[in-house]
Structure 1
Amino acid sequence: MHTVRVWDLPTRAFHWLLAAAVIGMVVTAKVGGNWMVWHLRLGHVVLALLLFRVLWGFVGGHWSRFSNFVYGPRALWRYLRGQAPAEHQMGHSPLGALSVFALLAALSLQVGTGLMSDDEIAFFGPLVRFVDGSTVSQATDFHKALGQWLVLGLVALHVVAILVYQFGKRQDLIGPMLHGDKAAPLPSPATRDGAAQRWLGAVLALLASTVAYLVHGLGAG
């Protein structure tokens, strides 16, 4: 077996920060009241994380780049039949890639509609004043109903899949996302995770955070 660095530090930090932020958003939304202030703040944290992940998907480490886990129907079918090549088990598998893209899309929709939502009590998104009333109403309805259940459902499926692989198939998915390394039966490309890569991640994170902060400031403009 060969030890390969699969997940770089920026990818691992993104993963766990996103998980914590989503949990925080769900809790603050359910509690309501004054906690909605934190719900809005966490929404902007998620926005910054999503923006970072899009950028990192083009310039990040080998296994974090979109180009290395975008699979076609044939690759997915071969994976489901147990005929996938070994490299499809290193980073995101074809099935795992579908889960990742679905979660990113659902969270983007939820954040986007949240920015245009208005509960007509104490909470309104920073983009409300830029869209008409009909759009605000539709965004609010989606955000409070279908959107949240879509995110919760995908998160639940994601967690169940991890547990199945972790304990059913004896494939460690949690460990590599903590320390970055994965055991491979054959030599595989290692992701870059040196000081230069981490500084690049920090710069992009700062850029994404700045954009999210500016969006937040639109509500006070």
Structure 2
Amino acid sequence: MKPIIQPVWDLPLRLFHWLLVGLIAFSWWSGENHEMEWHRWSGYAILFLLVFRLYWGLAGGRTARFSRFVRGPRAALAYLRGSGEADVGHNPLGGWSVVSMLAILIAMVMAGLFAVDVDGLESGPLADYVSFDAGRWASDVHSLIFNLLMGLIVLHIAAILFYLLARRRNLIGPMITGSVKAVDGAAAVPLRASVWRALTGLLIAAAITYFVSKGLHL
């Protein structure tokens, strides 16, 4: 039977993924080297991506929507037992991994927005809304959450290697090409990712990021 090409990830989702990878690495570098201006702009870029991803989780392509891959504990247990239903996109465990990653990234960015350094010279755009001590606490939380994020990233990489070595399934390739080859009698299922919805999401993310970067002042 002739292999068919099954779309797995739409372009906006793939761009989000790889831009986020690069920005996390750049945020670590800029923070370690005390390039705080660059660190701040990197944080704004991550905020922009997160706002867009939340929007795209509601309006994006089929596999990008939270309603498609956020399942309950029963579905996760069924997948672990090997009795879960196969579907294109995230499996139930992968879905919760995505939710955990997004949650910890949002918490890290939120803490950074209120953070203040030891000398009070560098601060997030929302630091004026809290006391100096609260800003210092936010800075500590920001650093702590980044360390937790590193742990999640290690687990993420370990899962990718497990699928590649134990199950002979390449998860990186589809995140680059957007599709996989599959032998199936049925036609490929479209993702239905709208260009206009993507542009709307970009505008919303840009507006919110700009508003936050200005300290919630127009």
Which residue number corresponds to residue 157 of structure 1? 155
Q: 1:64 to 1:22 in 2, by over 3 A?
A: same
Q: Could you tell me how far 1:180 is from its partner in structure 2?
A: 0.8
TM-score (norm: length of structure 1) = 0.89
Q: Could you tell me how far 1:219 is from its partner in structure 2?
A: 8.3
Of 7, 10, 17, 1:8 maps to: 10
**1:132 matched to 2:154:** no
8 Å contact 1:126–1:218 — kept in the other structure? Answer: yes
Which residue number corresponds to residue 29 of structure 2? 27
Aligned-CA RMSD value: 1.9
Q: Deviations over 1:90-133 (max 9, x none)?
A: 20111111111111000000000000000133320000001233
Name the CA distance, whole Å, in 2 between partners of 1:111 and 1:2: 41
One-letter amino acid of the structure 2 residue matched with residue 198 of structure 1: V
Name the CA distance, whole Å, in 2 between partners of 1:5 and 1:172: 15
Name the CA distance, whole Å, in 2 between partners of 1:147 and 1:12: 24
Q: Could you tell me how far 1:220 is from its partner in structure 2?
A: 8.9
> What is the DSSP-based 3-state SS (H/G/I as helix, E as strand, rest coil) of the residue aligned with 1:126?
coil
One-letter amino acid of the structure 2 residue matched with residue 26 of structure 1: W
Name the CA distance, whole Å, in 1 between partners of 2:151 and 2:91: 20
Q: 1:219 to 1:61 in 2, by over 3 A?
A: closer
8 Å contact 1:126–1:220 — kept in the other structure? Answer: no
Which residue number corresponds to residue 54 of structure 2? 54
Q: Could you tell me how far 1:203 is from its partner in structure 2?
A: 2.9
Q: 1:113 to 1:68 in 2, by over 3 A?
A: same
One-letter amino acid of the structure 1 residue matched with residue 150 of structure 2: L
Count of residue pairs the alignment pairs up: 213
8 Å contact 1:21–1:45 — kept in the other structure? Answer: yes
One-letter amino acid of the structure 2 residue matched with residue 176 of structure 1: P
Which residue number corresponds to residue 208 of structure 1? 205
Which residue number corresponds to residue 79 of structure 2? 79
Q: Could you list the runs of 5+ residues in structure 2 that have no partner in the other structure?
A: none
Name the CA distance, whole Å, in 1 between partners of 2:176 and 2:136: 41
Name the CA distance, whole Å, in 1 between partners of 2:203 and 2:30: 25
Which residue number corresponds to residue 109 of structure 1? 107
Name the CA distance, whole Å, in 2 between partners of 1:219 and 1:39: 20
Name the CA distance, whole Å, in 1 between partners of 2:65 and 2:200: 17
Q: Deviations over 1:6-54 (max 9, x none)?
A: 111111111111111111111111111xx11111100010001000000
**1:166 matched to 2:164:** yes
Structure with the higher helix share, 1 or 2: 1
TM-score (norm: length of structure 2) = 0.91
Which residue number corresponds to residue 141 of structure 2? 142
Name the CA distance, whole Å, in 2 between partners of 1:96 and 1:155: 13
